[in-house]
């Protein structure tokens, strides 16, 4: 919080200092709750309202909201639910599963879980150890517990919301009782999550045995100053859209700078920028042609009428395949082959199909006639795309930078496009605007300034580490920084090469190890460089270094994890199982953080 002039507040200097100390470091949601608490005190004429977190009617029970979140969405929903409950005077605490002691489960009376599924059915990093405990024989019987689970996922993955399902089933198996049914949320989770939260809060008086809720002054948040968020994105101007790969590269990677001047938006290294995009016009044309539909046909989406072409371009997902669409298309196309694929126990085959097909591929492979309204009813909403921010706000005031690789490729005899990347790379020029908002990721944060940092980010996975190094340079941080970067060719794919060389010269980077896989006969990747430098890397770990990984989840993240396990085995003297466990402990401690996708 910036220093406020004394004469700007009806407080003396001591009170002003106390106020600044109290609110320093609070999130916007926490600040909003504090404002509501203060408003409640004012409404009570200065008399003490219910203490923060006080129980209703003297009841000793409370609502604990446990969350497991890979990108921050689950944490935001958990914090919002805690705020809604607290504003009604209930005791409520949102706690990361990384910070929760599993032994406390048997002492809980009421729990809600907000839990995401990461990658191909894995729990998020901060929930990994709790997940192992819950699924093990160590988990206690929980007949006293009432619970509800909100599961977050992406139906483009075969194991959609599987972690949430497993939590729900296991808790029930241990004797706990659901007070709200499991809710499974896709990327477009707002309405489902809001309804679940409202039902949970509405049921708290009965659950907590507090029928006389009116006995406690209810705290209500005052309206906050209007800000830009998911419901109201900011139109950011494109300042720079520069290709940063060479002419010989097989990839088109752009460095994009956007202005957020006047928005009031702020971010920290590790956060992401969500970009509201539209679908490629050539893909819309091809889809309409393949379906034999007129783009001027009126359809209804979320009770609003619009032209089919407009909703396909602006509102609905027509690139990534998801399970709901596949089931719907299998039914209308009456395809035995597609139905059998969906029913198969061969999850790998289904995953491969989903990963390698777009909507138009499915339509072409299993042709049928379908009405315009029936077709749009099968599609989910077009979600904003999130990109790791590649700048430090301290180093670039009023700006946010992205590192974007264009997705454009040939498949099944036709050209394919990524919705977001082609929107940013091909259809936006300097001076154009694009709607954006900040997505916070508190699970991917820099450590204290004196702690060494190891960053592993091949390809565009290097984006957040550009922000990390800029921020540490601005801070004058004393901790050493070590970057592992990899790509195909040094001459054409060395992203931000001059910047890294400058940081090395200035001492902002202590070490830089690179791996260019196609520059020699035998391919070399970042995990190979980790193994080559295992002794030195282990010395950094012994010094308390924090390790960060960003990039591809399907292959790179697992390969890097295996290499780190080998480092702990070969130089830490651990057995493999112990090394695996050590990395999990490092995750819960924030010393091993991953932003993988």
Q: In this structure, what CATH number is given to the domain that contains residue 65?
A: 3.40.50.360
Task: Judge if 550 and 579 occupy the same domain.
Answer: yes
pLDDT at 13 over 80: no
Does the reported pTM lie above 0.85?
A: no
DSSP H or E run through 426: helix 419-426
Could you tell me if 64 and 189 lie in one domain?
yes
Identify whether 30 is part of a domain: no
Are residues 476 and 426 both part of a single domain?
no
Tell me, yes or no, whether 270 and 293 share the same domain: no
In a domain, residue 190? The reply is yes
Strands, DSSP E only, in 89-161?
92-96, 110-116, 146-152
Residue 41 lies in a domain: no
Range of the domain at 250: 234-277+384-439
Say what the pLDDT of residue 40 is.
42
pLDDT tier at 39 (50, 70, 90 boundaries)? Answer: very low
Question: What is the total count of domains within the chain?
Answer: 4
pLDDT of 119 above 90: no
pLDDT at 72: 84
Task: Tell me which residue of 332, 333, 354 sits closest to 342, measured CA to CA.
Answer: 354
| Cβ atoms of residues 256 and 241 within 8 Å | yes
- The mean per-residue pLDDT over the stretch 51-64 comes to 47
Average pLDDT value for residue range 156-178: 95
What was the pLDDT predicted at 211?
47
399 band by pLDDT with thresholds 50, 70 and 90:
very high
CB 193 within 8 A of CB 183: yes
Q: What is the pLDDT of residue 28?
A: 47
CB within 8 Å of 55: residues ≥ 6 apart: 61, 62, 90, 91, 208, 210
In the chain, what percentage of residues exceed pLDDT 70? 87
- Residue 24 pLDDT greater than 80, yes or no: no
Q: What's the mean pLDDT in 318-339?
A: 94
Place of tokens 């009170």: 15
**Which residue did the predictor score with more confidence, 588 or 217?**
588
Q: Is residue 44 domain-resident?
A: no
C-alpha 122/C-alpha 112 separation (Å) is 20
User: CA dist 255 to 86, 266, 404, 462, Å?
Assistant: 43, 20, 7, 12
**Over the stretch 60-104, which tens digit does the pLDDT of each residue have?**
457 899 999 888 889 999 999 999 998 888 889 999 999 999 999
Q: Residue 21 pLDDT > 50, yes or no? A: no
Residues 185 and 166: their CA atoms lie apart, in Å, by 15
Separation CA 468–CA 548 (nearest Å): 10
Question: Does residue 363 carry a pLDDT above 80?
Answer: yes
**How many other C-beta atoms can be found within 10 angstroms of the C-beta atom of residue 92?**
25
Can you say whether the dihedral through the CA atoms of 347, 385, 515, 484 is positive or negative? Answer: negative
State yes or no: pLDDT of 215 exceeds 50. no
pLDDT band at 554 (very low <50, low <70, confident <90, very high): confident
Q: What percent of the chain has pLDDT over 90?
A: 74
Res 443: pLDDT: 87
The Cα 247–Cα 337 span in angstroms is 43
Same domain for 268 and 290, yes or no, is no
Tell me which of 118 and 536 has the higher pLDDT.
536
3-class secondary-structure state, position 200? helix
**227 within domain boundaries:** no
What string of DSSP letters covers 230-258?
Answer: TTB-EEEEEEEEEE-S-TT-S--EEEEEE
pLDDT-derived band at 344 (thresholds 50, 70, 90) equals confident
């Amino acid at each position: 919080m910036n220093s406020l002039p004394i004469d700007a507040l009806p407080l003396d200097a001591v009170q002003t200092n106390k106020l600044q100390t109290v609110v320093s470091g609070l999130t916007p949601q926490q600040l909003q709750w504090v404002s509501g608490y203060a408003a409640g005190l004012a409404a009570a004429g200065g008399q003490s309202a219910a203490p923060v977190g006080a129980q209703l009617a003297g009841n000793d029970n409370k609502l604990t909201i446990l969350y497991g979140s890979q990108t921050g969405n689950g944490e935001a929903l958990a914090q919002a639910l805690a705020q809604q409950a607290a504003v009604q005077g209930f005791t409520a605490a949102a706690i990361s599963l990384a910070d929760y002691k599993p032994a406390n489960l048997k002492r809980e009376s009421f729990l809600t879980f907000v839990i995401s599924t990461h990658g191909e059915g894995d729990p998020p990093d901060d929930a990994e150890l709790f997940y192992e405990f819950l699924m093990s024989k160590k988990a206690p019987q929980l007949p006293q517990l009432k619970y509800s689970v909100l599961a977050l996922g992406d139906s483009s993955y075969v194991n959609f919301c599987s972690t949430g399902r497993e939590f729900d089933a296991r808790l029930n198996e241990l004797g706990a009782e659901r007070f709200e049914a499991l809710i499974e949320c896709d990327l477009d989770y707002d309405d489902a999550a809001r309804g679940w939260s409202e039902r949970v809060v509405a049921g708290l008086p009965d659950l907590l045995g507090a029928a006389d809720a009116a006995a406690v002054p209810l705290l209500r948040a005052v309206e906050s100053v209007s800000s830009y968020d998911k419901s109201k994105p900011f139109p950011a101007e494109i300042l720079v859209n520069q290709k940063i790969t060479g002419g010989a590269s097989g990839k088109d990677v752009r460095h994009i700078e956007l202005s957020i001047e006047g928005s009031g938006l702020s971010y920290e290294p590790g956060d992401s920028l969500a970009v509201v995009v539209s679908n490629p016009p050539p893909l819309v044309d091809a889809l309409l042609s393949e379906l034999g539909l007129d783009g001027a046909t009126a359809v209804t989406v979320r009770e609003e009428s619009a032209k089919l072409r407009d909703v396909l371009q602006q509102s609905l997902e027509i690139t990534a395949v998801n399970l709901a669409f596949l089931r719907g298309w299998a039914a209308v196309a009456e395809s035995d082959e597609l139905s059998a694929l969906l029913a198969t126990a061969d999850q790998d085959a289904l995953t491969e199909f989903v990963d390698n097909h777009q909507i138009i591929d499915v339509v072409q492979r299993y042709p049928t006639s379908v009405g315009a309204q029936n077709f749009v009813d099968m599609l989910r909403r077009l979600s904003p795309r999130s990109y790791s921010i590649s700048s430090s706000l301290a180093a670039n005031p009023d700006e946010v930078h992205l590192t974007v690789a264009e997705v454009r490729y040939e498949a099944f005899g036709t050209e394919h496009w990524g919705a977001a990347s082609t929107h940013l790379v091909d259809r936006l020029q300097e001076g154009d605007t694009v709607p954006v908002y900040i997505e916070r990721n508190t699970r991917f944060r820099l450590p204290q300034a004196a702690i060494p940092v190891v960053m592993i980010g091949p390809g565009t996975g290097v984006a957040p580490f550009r922000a990390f190094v800029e921020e540490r340079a601005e801070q004058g941080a004393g901790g050493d920084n070590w970057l592992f970067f990899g790509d195909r060719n040094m001459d054409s794919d060395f992203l931000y090469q001059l910047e890294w060389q400058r940081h090395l010269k200035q001492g902002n980077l202590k070490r830089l190890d690179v791996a260019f896989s196609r520059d020699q006969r035998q391919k070399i990747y970042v995990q190979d460089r980790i193994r080559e430098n295992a002794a030195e890397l282990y010395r950094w770990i012994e010094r308390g270094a924090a390790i960060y990984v960003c990039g591809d989840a399907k292959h790179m993240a697992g390969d890097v994890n295996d290499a780190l396990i080998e480092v702990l085995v070969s130089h830490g003297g651990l057995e493999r199982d112990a090394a695996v466990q050590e990395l999990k402990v490092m995750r819960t401690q924030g010393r091993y953080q991953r932003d993988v996708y």
